[in-house]
Amino acid sequence: MEALTRCNNGHYFDSKKHSSCPFCGVQDLEININKTMAKRPGKSGSRGGEEGKTVGIYKRKLGIDPVVGWLVAITGPEKGRDFRITAEKNFIGRSEKMDIRIPDDESISRDSHAVVSFNPKNLTFRLFPGESKGLAYLNGEEVIAPVVLKAYDTIEVGQTKLIYIPLCSESFHWDMVKGEGEQN
């Protein structure tokens, strides 16, 4: 059991480590809760679907958790490897429970070095600082609060530099695609 605090914007964080929300900086807190953190799946794991686990918006609509973009390692031990970004939050770290797992760069924190999110309601991608000791950089600048990502931005974590490539945008998103039997 891990005691978490929820800010007015709905972010959960460890109030023993942070005096304000590390994602948005909100200091006046709404509630304190006790919540067991669900194990986050690794790259090959599936998201949601099991009882008690949160099911993402696209997973619920489409039955799968489709790719919405990619990170591609352009430097570091994983150079040339691509990492899928799916809807909502994608936690970056070395641990098997991370959504974007970069195991061979030991300068990346095991858990939550940084977070990339995709908001399917407004079609935006953001980079958040993680809750670990390690820093994340966007185009060479330290990330201390959530920032909007633009196509081909570079994200640096540890000794790894990643280029961000979106799939979903105003031009294409999964809500535009109708499957068999669906009405337009």
Token pair 């998103």: residue: 173
Q: Where are the domains of the chain?
A: 2-35, 57-166
Give the pLDDT score at 10: 63
SS3 content of the chain, % helix, strand, coil (to 5): 5, 35, 60
- Residue 175: the pLDDT is 86
Burial of 149 (0-12, 13-18, 19+ CB in 10 A): buried
CA distance 184 to 134: 46
Q: In this predicted structure, what is the pLDDT of residue 65?
A: 83
Which pLDDT does position 95 carry in this prediction? 95
Helix (H) or strand (E) holding 70: strand 67-75
Going by C-beta distance under 8 Å and a sequence separation of 6 or more, which residues neighbour residue 110?
93, 94, 95, 132
Model pLDDT, residue 88 = 94
CB neighbours of 152 closer than 8 A, spacing ≥ 6?
163, 164, 165
Angle at 24 between CA 19 and CA 27, to 5 degrees: 35
User: For each of the chain's 184 residues, which pLDDT tens digit applies?
Assistant: 455 676 666 666 666 666 677 666 655 444 333 333 333 344 333 344 455 666 666 666 666 789 999 999 999 999 999 999 999 999 999 999 999 999 999 999 999 999 999 999 999 999 999 999 999 999 999 999 999 999 999 999 999 999 999 999 999 998 888 765 554 4
**136's tokens:** 């994340």
Neighbouring residues of 47: CB distance < 8 A, sequence distance ≥ 6? 41, 53, 55, 56, 59, 65, 86, 99
Tokens, residue 72:
């591609």
* CATH architecture designation of domain 57-166: Sandwich (2.60)
Amino acid at 7: C
Count Cβ atoms within 10 A of the Cβ of residue 144 and give its class: 0-12 exposed, 13-18 middle, 19 or more buried.
Answer: exposed
Rounded CA-CA distance 130/33 in Å is 20
